[in-house]
Amino acid sequence: MNDQRDYRDSHTDAGKGQLYDERFDRWPWRRYLWQREREILTDVLTRRLQDGPITHLDFACGTGRILEFLRPFTSQSVGLDVSESMLGRCRAKAPDAEIINADITHTDVLGHRTFRLITAFRFFAHAQPELRTQAMEALSWHLADDGILVFNNHRNRSSTLLALGRCLGREVWGMSRGEVAELVASAGLAVDEVFAVGALPISDHRPMLFPPSVHAAADRAVNLCGLGPILCQDCIYVCRRAHSPAQPDTGVARSLEGVVSA
């Protein structure tokens, strides 16, 4: 992050949920990224999780963008976030989902429940390193043996956007590919697939100088060359369990000693 504030506190102000949703409506670049992310999520689910019911946990679900989109694919949906301001809008979007206001890095209210699909979008790049590790360990604990965890790093430090920022002498925050690899491995997970979006340098609140079709073509070109995870700013990782996870260091997890995740 670009400062030392706890990311847990960043979206708790009243009205934050409305402002967050408005940015996806107003900012063309966010709309483009969200369109591509929807395509990727649909592709991943239809290829990998169609052999049975899909139980879904959306971590840091915010206003319910991911949860609402994936609800038709799932048999059970759980949204988890620490911000009641965000969750108020989430409940309206996904009224039949289970919405929980809690911080599982402190108190694991999910107990021994596991999920075949866990998603976490626009969280890890913002979070401070300690929080990243705590969250990934908790999510790994709740991932079913045949499940997948899908998360993104929308501030890839090697991307053309962030590299340009550094060349211009600007403060740049984000997460490197090395940090992603270390984070995943430390939680007992392995990356199966990486999807990369956003090769051309553009930021959230700036107008798009080229139409979405040009950006999509640039993304296809760099991915065909194997350079997508290096040059694109939004990388979506599909992970599976590499080995049995350690119990996360939370009160509930300690009370569940001896319970096997299944």
What the chain holds in terms of domains, given with CATH numbers, is: 7-255 (3.40.50.150)
> Residue 121 has which token pair?
């979008």
pLDDT at 139 > cutoff 70: yes
**22 membership: H or E segment, kind and range:** helix 16-26
| SS3 annotation, 177-201 | HHHHHHHHHHCCEEEEEEEEECCCC
Mean pLDDT of 12-36: 79
CB-neighbour burial class of residue 13 (10 A; exposed 0-12, middle 13-18, buried 19+)? exposed
CB count, 10 Å around CB of 236?
A: 23
Q: What is the DSSP string of 72-99?
A: GG-SEEEEEES-HHHHHHHHHH-TTSEE
Q: Are 196 and 217 in contact (CB under 8 A)?
A: no
Which tens digit of pLDDT belongs to each residue from 171-227? 778 999 999 999 999 999 999 999 999 999 988 878 888 899 999 999 999 999 999
Residue 245 binned pLDDT confidence (cut-offs 50, 70, 90): low
Alpha-carbon gap, residue 66 to 78, rounded angstroms: 11
The pLDDT, as a whole number, for residue 249 is 63
The pLDDT, as a whole number, for residue 171 is 75
Alpha-carbon gap, residue 41 to 50, rounded angstroms: 13
The pLDDT, as a whole number, for residue 262 is 26
